[in-house]
């Protein structure tokens, strides 16, 4: 099947105005996308060629925008930043760099909930399914448009990406302080361990894009997947498990449990939620 949604869907989607929220029913898509196939993905050659300004226009450095487009809100924001730009490689021209990634963000429940919690932190959702990504993008657009005065929802964005292949194309080394892996697809076929979003070798890539001290958040309702993820992160020398007390006290955990679409679904069905957090360790000294 082609990448583009059927024409009737397209039409219904475009009929809405900018500030009107998208309807989920027009953006549904088959649950599983093959992480190995080429798709028709677009991704930057490297983080340096990533156009962050389009995703987070309110965080573009002043010199970069024409004076007439800069709103009062943006100026306020920049004043807070003391004019300092992001010094993270790959975020030249931005006042901030993306610090939080929601991998496999689905319909974006977590993004929308986190946005208001940390309005000064840039959060990016990454989702492999086109229509689902479009839904989140439309919803962000509508919410930004509805909240022009307050400047809410400027700090979240969503892109289509296969994170299992292209994470280092988007994020420079040590740039993220949080990665969320919420209710990843369980991939029941045990024969395809590489299809899972967590594996020993992928942990190395998560460690690469995270700064030491950063935290990976995982939640699932599938106990065996939970154990699988815990096993791989705990065994990986780049991570250590966060203690239970600290996990319970982390407010992102509550959001992850209560605000993700999957979290709500599990709640309705009376299922269990397994949570595990892992802190990115310092790299060991060279031997």
Partner 1 sequence: MQHPYQCICVCHPVGGDGSGMLLAASGPKISSVNLQNGSIVSSWPDEESSPAHETRETSTPEGPPGKKRKIAQSTETKPNVIQLTTSHDHKHVIAATGEDKCIRVFAIDPTGQLTQLSERYNESLLYRGLELTMPRCMPKRPCAIAVTPDNQTVILGDKHGDVYSLPLLPEDKDPSQLVPERAEAAPRKAFVPAATNLTVHTGRNLKALEAQQKQKDLHAKTKEPPKFESTLLLGHVSMLTDLLLATVVPDEPNAKPRNYILTSDRDEHIRVSRGLPQTHVIEGYCLGHTEFVSKLCIVNDRLLVSGGGNDWLGVWDWVRGELEMKLDLKDLLVAVRQDGLIPRTSDASLRDASDTVAVSGLWACHMAHPHESQLLIALEGVPALFHVPISQLVAQYQCRPDLEYTALPGNLLDIAIHTPVSATSAEHLSSLNEVSLIVSVDNMHALGSTSQPRSEPTSQRLLSLPLCKDPEVKRWGIDERSTALLEAANSAEGPERGGKGVAALCYGVETLRKRGGGKEEEEEG
Ligand X SMILES: C[S@@+](CC[C@H](N)C(=O)[O-])C[C@H]1O[C@@H](n2cnc3c(N)ncnc32)[C@H](O)[C@@H]1O
Residue from 10, 211, 264, 265 binding partner 1 (CB under 8 A): 265
Backbone torsions φ then ψ of 78, nearest 5 degrees? -70, -35
Whole-angstrom distance, CA of residue 184 vs CA of residue 182: 6
The C-alpha atoms of residue 280 and residue 212 are separated, in whole angstroms, by 5
Complete edge-to-edge strand list for the sheet that includes strand 156-160: 156-160, 122-127, 98-103, 176-182, 210-220, 274-280, 239-241
Q: Give the Cβ contact number of residue 235 at 10 Å.
A: 10
Catalytic residue among 185, 221, 224, 283: 185
What is the helix (H) or strand (E) element at residue 89, kind and residue range? none
SS3 at position 88: coil
CA pair distance 209, 199, nearest whole angstrom = 16
Segment contacting partner 1 by CB under 8 A, of 80-88, 133-141, 190-198, 252-260: 190-198
Q: Binding to ligand X by residue 35, rule CB under 6 A?
A: yes
From 19-27, 58-66, 89-97, 122-130, give the range in contact with ligand X by CB under 6 A.
Answer: 122-130
Taking CB under 6 A as the rule, does residue 162 contact ligand X?
yes
Contact flags string 186-225 toward ligand X, x per CB under 6 A: -----------x----------------------------
The beta strands (E) that lie in the chain are given as 98-103, 122-127, 156-160, 176-182, 210-220, 239-241, 274-280
Among 12, 28, 33, 247, binds ligand X (CB under 6 A): 33
Q: Which residues bind partner 1 (CB under 8 A)?
A: 1-3, 5, 28-41, 45-47, 129-131, 164-166, 168-169, 173, 186, 188-191, 193-194, 199-205, 207-208, 221-225, 227-228, 231-232, 234-238, 265-266, 269-272, 283-284, 286-287
Q: Which residues bind ligand X (CB under 6 A)?
A: 33, 35, 104-106, 109, 126-129, 132, 161-164, 182-185, 197, 260-262
Question: Which residues line the annotated binding site for S-adenosyl-L-methionine?
Answer: 104, 127-128, 162-163, 182, 260-262
């Amino acid at each position: 099947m082609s990448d583009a949604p059927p024409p009737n869907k397209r039409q219904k989607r475009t009929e809405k105005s900018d500030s009107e929220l998208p309807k989920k029913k027009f953006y549904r898509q088959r649950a599983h996308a093959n992480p190995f196939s080429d798709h028709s993905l677009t991704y930057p050659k490297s983080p340096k060629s990533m156009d962050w300004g389009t995703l987070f226009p309110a965080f573009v450095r002043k010199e970069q925008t024409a004076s007439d487009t800069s709103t009062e809100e943006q100026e306020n924001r920049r004043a807070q930043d003391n004019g300092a730009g992001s010094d993270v490689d790959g975020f030249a021209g931005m006042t901030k760099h993306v610090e939080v990634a929601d991998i496999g963000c689905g319909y974006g429940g977590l993004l929308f909930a986190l946005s208001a919690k940390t309005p000064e932190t840039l959060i990016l959702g990454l989702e492999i399914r086109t229509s689902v990504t479009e839904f989140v993008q439309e919803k962000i657009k509508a919410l930004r448009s509805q909240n022009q005065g307050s400047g809410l929802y400027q700090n979240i964005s969503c892109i289509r990406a296969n994170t299992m292949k292209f994470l280092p194309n988007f994020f420079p080394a040590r740039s993220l302080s949080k990665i969320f892996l919420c209710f990843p697809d369980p991939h029941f076929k045990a024969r395809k361990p590489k299809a899972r979003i967590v594996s020993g070798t992928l942990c190395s890539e998560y460690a690469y894009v995270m700064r030491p001290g950063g935290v990976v958040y995982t939640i699932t309702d599938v106990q065996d997947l939970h154990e699988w993820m815990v096993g791989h992160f705990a065994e990986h020398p780049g991570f250590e498990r966060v203690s239970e007390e600290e996990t319970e006290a982390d407010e992102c955990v509550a959001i992850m449990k209560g605000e993700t679409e999957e979290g709500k679904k599990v709640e309705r069905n009376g299922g269990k939620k397994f949570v595990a957090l892992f802190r990115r360790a310092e790299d060991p000294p060279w031997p």
